[in-house]
Amino acid sequence: MAELLDVRVLFVFTPEFVGDRVTAVFVDVPWSRDVSDGKLAAYAHGGQHCSVDREWVAGQRVATVAEYSELLRELFRVGYSVEVVDSFEEAKV
């Protein structure tokens, strides 16, 4: 079995995304080597990795357990070991 990737994740509710309404934000993983751009790595259903802007994240609401549980299971299936961050303050986004 492959080694799991440890990540801290803030799940945010994203009503502008039809269907996939929750995004997993990897709060400690910059999208690129240029950390000054303020973008973080994120994940949506079906293996869709993307970048999100810190300001955009701060404008979303934190998803409930019921809203993010399916995406959390998917992250485990694809090889992530997830520590769920429950608030923007804890995430320090």
DSSP structural state of residue 67: H
Residue of 32, 4, 73 whose CA lies nearest to 24: 73
Does the structure show a pLDDT above 50 at 74? yes
Task: Kindly state the tokens that stand for 68.
Answer: 């993010």
pLDDT digits (tens, 9 = 90+) for 21-71: 899 999 998 887 776 677 999 998 877 888 999 888 988 999 999 999 999
pTM (2 decimals)?
Answer: 0.84
Query: 68 is in which domain, residue-wise?
Result: 5-91
Mean pLDDT, rounded, for 62-88: 93
The number of distinct structural domains making up the chain is 1
